[in-house]
Amino acid sequence: MASILIVYASMSGNTEEILDVIKGRLEELNHDVTVEEIEDIEAESMLNYDAVLLGSYTWGDGELPYETEDFYDELDVVDISGKPVAVFGSGDTDYPKFCEAVDIFEFKLKECGAELIQQGLKIELAPESEEDKKKCITFAENVSTFFETKIDI
């Protein structure tokens, strides 16, 4: 099926736990999944994959984590027009801007011409409940379905 890059930032491990559920389901659906920490990869690497999933926690009152800033800035100089992307993240509803990093990255990716293939996934802390795990699985399945419809056309 598709080669999918998952780029992420996780401080407490919550976003990484979301990633693990998504990655597991994508692999069950026979996709080739590569995982990279966002601070260890350049945005240009996105061009080597059929799709990119970006995961990030939200820092403070709705800011991007510092380790995502270089990648975020590099998006302005890489031609990702039409690149299939989706964003996921963890957050805490105790803060006024819950999972704002998801919204910030979605806006930036759209601004750079990428194709959002799935609505952003926002999870309160870690995906511990069955409901949250199901949301992660559905997110992965929706990404997979995007490629199934592309093949059928």
Answer whether residue 151 shows pLDDT above 70: no
Domain ranges (residues) in the chain? 3-150
Tens-digit pLDDT profile for residues 18-74: 999 999 999 999 999 999 999 999 999 999 999 999 999 999 889 999 999 999 999
Q: Residue 152: what pLDDT?
A: 46
Answer whether residue 100 shows pLDDT above 60: yes
- pTM of this prediction? 0.95
Task: Identify the burial level of 105 via C-beta atoms within 10 angstroms of its C-beta, where 0-12 means exposed, 13-18 middle and 19 or more buried.
Answer: buried
**Strands 115-116 and 51-56, how do they pair?**
unpaired
**How far is it, in rounded angstroms, from Cα 102 to Cα 111?**
14
Tell me the residue type at 136: C
Q: Residue 46: what pLDDT?
A: 97
CATH class of segment(s) 3-150: alpha beta
Neighbouring-strand partners of residue 116: 85
Tens-digit pLDDT profile for residues 14-28: 999 999 999 999 999
* Average pLDDT of the segment spanning 106-116: 97
Q: Residue 147: what pLDDT?
A: 87
115 pLDDT band, cuts 50/70/90, is: very high
Q: Residue 153: what pLDDT?
A: 41
**How far is it, in rounded angstroms, from Cα 47 to Cα 70?**
17
Q: Residue 150: what pLDDT?
A: 64
